[in-house]
Structure 1
Amino acid sequence: MSDHYIYSPETIVKAYSLGLFPMADSHDSLDIKFYDPDRRALIPIDHSLGRGVHIPRRLQRRVRQAPYEVTLDQDFTAVIDACAAPSEQRTDTWINKDIRQLYIALHKMGFAHSIEVWSDGALIGGLYGVALRAAFFGESMFSRKSDASKIALVHLMARLRHGNFLLLDAQFTNDHLQQFGVTEIDRSEFQGRLDEALASDGDLHFDTPSAALVTPYLDQLAKHQV
């Protein structure tokens, strides 16, 4: 029996390429809506946007200590399920049943990816998003231990920078992302940056362990901050 979607995975990919992104109103919602906000939040991964990339020094030290194992695309379904689950920080999410199934399909097609954070074999944090050419659209993250989702984001930033990505879309800003130098730009500037990213090649370097990428990235950032 084939899967049935309210939209096809290909429609979701097309929406991203046009600057739109899908959300459900709630976990139990039967509908998916597409959004194209007037202001778009981007996370800098280099120094070409806003005030440039920023990672708090305390978090940099924490990442260098490597308290957890960080992987790429090892358990996408577990990550999206954790992002969809209620927590102390959120009583509801925008990830409904159809969103879940669509993004699992996108993962199988090679468009959606997850960063996992593990402690003693247990999944304690992570994030997922969609990669198109040199653009990465961050969707959601979760954390079950201190700094786990933040560590996942730093590892993603390092991987994107190493792979010549040009854009890390956060959609909307929030307090959690402020510490990373998240920058809001208007729709027209976003479209220009998106067009540039879609005309360029990005490489997630699947065979390269996250640990091999994050330290050189932080070293490069430290030189710029001196």
Structure 2
Amino acid sequence: MQYDVAAIIQGYSNGYFLMADENNHLGWYGSCDRTLIPLDERFRYPKSLRRVLNQNRFSTAINRDFEGVVNGCANRDSTWISEDLKDIYYALNQNGWAYSFETWQGDQLAGGILGIVIGGAFIGESMFFRITEGSKVAMVKLVERLRTKKFVFFDAQMMNPHLERFGAYRIEDEEYQVLLDKALKSNCSFI
């Protein structure tokens, strides 16, 4: 199936995101508030994770196994990532918009974060792990990369207790739209 990649990127550029409902029907969604992962000193993580990072048990890669990350993110009892949405992510990846930021332990995919990059915005769609701490290490290393590349924000879309541990915070839609406008005018390179 062919997807209008430009129209999909326009939707994300307007502050919407795609999700499938319980019947696997895709739709555009917005939110009155958004969850951001801080790219400044507010970003934090547990001391136990610092030990894991210091042990260098994981390496990172971008798009080494994009399909594996998409499937890992969708592999849940209840998921909003339908087969159609997977295909959209593949089309976005082939056109340079969607990326997987991965952790590896040797030759095994340990975890990863699926995201869409538009200008200086990293829009995190989902994350998963197969090896304990795999997604947490991916989060820390991804934040380091986004800082280095001078991204405006890391959008995690919706709050959960896991993200809260990293210092995630909510902003109102009006503030999000201002940041999004700034991000769209930024010329950041993710790779």
Which bracket does the TM-score occupy, shorter chain normalised? over 0.9
Alignment gaps of 5+ in structure 2 = none
**What is the aligned partner in structure 1 of residue 27 from structure 2?**
33
**What is the aligned partner in structure 1 of residue 177 from structure 2?**
191
Distance 1:113 1:164 in 2: 17
Q: 2:44 matched to 1:58? A: no
**What is the aligned partner in structure 1 of residue 17 from structure 2?**
21
**Other structure's SS at 2:85 match:** helix
Post-superposition offset of 1:75: 1.1
**Other structure's SS at 2:44 match:** coil
Distance 2:144 2:157 in 1: 20
Distance 2:141 2:175 in 1: 26
**What is the aligned partner in structure 1 of residue 111 from structure 2?**
125
The one-character-per-residue Cα deviations of 1:80-134 (angstroms, maximum 9, x if unpaired) are 0111112xxxx11100011000111100100000012222311121111000010
Distance 1:121 1:60 in 2: 23
Post-superposition offset of 1:62: 1.5
Distance 2:156 2:110 in 1: 21
**What is the aligned partner in structure 1 of residue 7 from structure 2?**
11
Distance 1:151 1:75 in 2: 17
1:41 alignment partner AA = T
Greater mean deviation of Cα atoms: 177-186 or 64-73 = 64-73
Matches for 1:156-195 after TM superposition, within 5 Å: 156-195=142-181
1:107 alignment partner AA = N
1:153 alignment partner AA = M
**What is the aligned partner in structure 2 of residue 100 from structure 1?**
86
Distance 2:102 2:159 in 1: 22
With normalisation by structure 1, the TM-score equals 0.81
Distance 2:87 2:13 in 1: 20
RMSD over equivalenced CA pairs, Å: 1.3
**What is the aligned partner in structure 2 of residue 67 from structure 1?**
57
Greater mean deviation of Cα atoms: 168-177 or 192-201 = 192-201
Q: 2:62 matched to 1:76? A: no
Post-superposition offset of 1:57: 2.6
Flag the structure with higher strand content: 2
Post-superposition offset of 1:203: 2.1
**Other structure's SS at 2:84 match:** helix
The one-character-per-residue Cα deviations of 1:46-68 (angstroms, maximum 9, x if unpaired) are 14xxxx22222321232122111
Task: Give the ranges of 4+ consecutive aligned residues of structure 1 lying more than 3 Å apart after TM superposition.
Answer: none
Pair member with larger Rg: 1
Alignment gaps of 5+ in structure 1 = 207-226
Is contact 1:160-1:203 (8 Å) kept? no
